[in-house]
Structures are given as C-alpha cells and as structure tokens.
C-alpha cells in the first residue's frame, strides 16, 4: 500500500506562499527589525493560528494581518487589509503545477500497487487542487484531513484494512508525513522539497531501517 502526500510532493504549493511572504515583508518595511526577525514573528503567529484555525490560504491571510497588528501595535486599517489581500491574490489564482516526473511515475506505480492519497488542509481548497491535478484516477481513495498525526495514520490503516507494516507513506514533510507514520508502525519515503514550509521541518533518523530517502519522485520506480 503506497500512500501519497499531495502539496509539495505531487505538486508545488508552498513556494507560492513563500513568494507572498517575501512581498509582505518588503511591504512592511519595518524600521528596526530585519527580515529574519520579521519572519520569526510571522512563524510564531502561524504556529499558533494553525493549532486554533487549521491550514489553508484563509488562515495564512489571518496570520499576515495578525503579524501586521502585532508589529504596529494597532488594528489593521481597511486599506491595509486590502493591500494584504492583493499581495495574496496568487494563492487563489495559482494553477496546480505537478512536480517533475509525477504523472509518469504514478502511471507505472498504479499498475503494481494500490495507491491512496492523504492531504491535510481546508477541505474546499484542497478539493479544488485535487480536482485540477488530473491524477485522481490513480488512487483508490483520496482523503482530506484536518491534521496528519499518529491517530490519522492508525485510522487510515483501519479504514482501508491494511497492515501498517506493509504500508509506505510518501511525502516531503518530516512533521506530517514521516514521523507520525513511523510512530504508527508504517514505513515512510522522504522526498525533500527545498520549499517545504518551515513549520513542517523536523529531525529525521536517516539510519532508520523503515525510512527511505529519495532525491526525486521518479526514484520511487527503483524501489516499488
């Protein structure tokens, strides 16, 4: 059983958010804090907001507004809210861009294994990307969840009736894809993405026998 992450594994996603953050930090033009310090403030706000409000572009916009208000120590004006919304237009207009080799690799993998898709985030936003990606026919099921934690992986194994030891979670996020899957008894394939969201970073034990690290998505064909 091969289970795939979606954002930043099958297609690029976080790079769009990073571009918006770059524009936002430049627009802030803070008089005393540099970009590293500003990004640290934003990361703290995003970390808190994801716990309370979840994921997706709406929560991200909320974090940008909260960041502005914390730094300027006052509520955002209507004009500032509009400017932030304009900065983030790319989030809703961005087209799904598959990672290199994904379509061809899935074509072949689907002839050898059962494939599932597991993604987290705001349901309507994630469904829009799933509908646009042109890949759903490869998967026997696609699940959108609020969080990808140990309980999620245990639930998915029970839902589809497979043994965790025979399952592989394939993704780019140590925090959401690799570590909770391994704790749930799955194997995992880590495919790094240079644009992975900073809040998804974590330390991995690369000596772990149940963890396979690959340089690119098509390399899956060498192992499965």
pLDDT (0 to 100) of residue 99? 95
Residue closest to 149 by CA, chosen among 183, 115, 125: 183
Average pLDDT score over residue span 80-96: 87
pLDDT (0 to 100) of residue 117? 98
Share of the chain above pLDDT 70, in %: 100
End-to-end CA distance of the chain: 10
SS (H, E, C) 106-117: HHHHCCCCCEEE
Average pLDDT score over residue span 49-63: 94
pLDDT (0 to 100) of residue 90? 79
Average pLDDT score over residue span 116-144: 96
Q: Kindly tell me if the per-residue pLDDT of 195 is higher than 80.
A: yes
Write the DSSP string, 19-63.
HHHHHHHHHH--SS--HHHHHHHHHHHHHHHHHHH-SSHHHHHHH
Residue closest to 153 by CA, chosen among 200, 204, 104, 187: 187
> What confidence tens digit (pLDDT) does each residue in 3-21 have?
999 999 999 999 999 999 9
Report which DSSP code applies to 171: E
Whole-angstrom CA distances from 33 to 20, 68, 142, 163, 165 are 19, 13, 43, 51, 48
H or E stretch at 3:
strand 2-4
């Amino acid at each position: 059983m091969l289970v795939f992450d979606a954002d930043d594994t099958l297609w690029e996603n976080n790079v769009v958010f990073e571009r918006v953050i770059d524009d936002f930090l430049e627009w802030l033009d803070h008089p005393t804090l540099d970009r590293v310090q500003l990004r640290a403030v934003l990361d703290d706000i995003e970390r808190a907001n994801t716990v309370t409000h979840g994921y997706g572009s709406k929560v991200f916009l909320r974090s940008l507004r909260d960041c502005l208000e914390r730094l300027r120590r006052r509520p955002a004006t209507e004009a500032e809210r509009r400017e932030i919304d304009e900065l983030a237009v790319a989030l809703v207009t961005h087209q799904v861009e598959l990672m290199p080799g994904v379509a061809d690799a899935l074509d072949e993998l689907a002839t050898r294994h059962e494939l599932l898709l597991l993604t987290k985030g705001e349901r309507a936003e994630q469904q829009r990307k799933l509908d646009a990606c042109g890949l759903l026919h490869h998967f026997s099921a696609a699940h959108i969840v609020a969080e990808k934690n140990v309980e999620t992986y245990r639930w998915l194994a029970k839902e589809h009736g497979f043994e965790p030891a025979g399952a592989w979670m394939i993704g780019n996020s140590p925090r959401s894809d690799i570590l909770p899957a391994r704790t749930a008894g799955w194997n995992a394939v880590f495919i790094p993405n240079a644009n992975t969201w900073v809040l998804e970073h974590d330390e991995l034990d690369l000596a772990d026998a149940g963890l396979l690290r690959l340089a690119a998505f098509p390399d899956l064909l060498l192992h499965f």
